[in-house]
Amino acid sequence: MPDQEKKDCACQRGVSRRGFLTTMGTGAAAVAISGRVNVAKPAHAAEITSEDMAKITLDINGRAQRLLVEPRWTLLYVLRDRLGLTATKLGCERGECGACTVLIDGQPRYACMTLAVEAQGQKVTTLEGLMKGEQLGTTQQAFLDQDAYQCGYCTPGQIMAAEGLLLDNDAPSMAEIAHGMSGNLCRCGAYTHIFEAVKKAGEMKRKG
């Protein structure tokens, strides 16, 4: 086949590299001139202004804390990130593990499931509030004595749940202890030591 015929066949089979680049360049120029590109616009979160914030006063460990908060903030977030009370641990954030347990008017509650604004007018107690200066509280000491922890991450929540249980009943049976502590999970499986610690804490409280 003559060379000219070969060239004609090659051109008929498809677009040459130069032709492709030329076409693409023309298309890009058209877009630049028109300024129209079909690209989805990013979603923007609603901006929170000072007018949307709420002024609240929380009674935490016997001290009044005046705060400006967003209505959606949890008590867990306010305790840890706004007040620096980091003994209350961040766990599942959906009310399943109990690592964030605090006492609200003496009752164990999940701080991750409680809005800060809900806690107004109630007494909030965290693990720091059980301390007597630099001395451990009774329940804290019992957990230490009974070696009721391994990694220790769930321990603050376990202690607060135990404290709430013992406020209602300082002489619980093992079945009552197991039921009262059932909302707090320990991935290390130290339940036997935890239950013994709760029992000992009750004995220590009864002795005064």
Encode pLDDT of 141-190 as tens digits. 999 999 999 999 999 999 999 999 999 999 999 999 999 999 999 999 99
Cα angle for residues 15, 18, 23 (degrees, 5° grid):
70
Q: Radius of gyration over alpha carbons of the chain, in Å?
A: 32
- Domain of 164, CATH number, reads 1.10.150.120
User: Is 10 inside any structural domain?
Assistant: no
What is the per-residue pLDDT across 44-90, written as a single tens digit (0 to 9) for each? Answer: 556 666 668 999 999 999 999 999 999 999 999 999 999 999 999 99
Looking at residue 49, its pLDDT comes to: 64
- Domain holding 156, by residue range, is 131-208
Q: Is residue 12 part of a domain?
A: no
User: In this structure, is residue 22 part of a structural domain?
Assistant: no
pTM recorded for the entire structure: 0.76
The number of folded domains in the chain is 2
CA distance 127 to 163: 10
Task: Indicate the residue among 107, 127, 147 that finishes a domain.
Answer: 127
183: in domain: yes
In the DSSP assignment, the letter for residue 122 is: S
Q: Which of 127, 159, 183 marks a domain boundary?
A: 127
Tokens 């005046």 belong to residue = 66
Evaluate whether residue 177 is within a structural domain.
yes
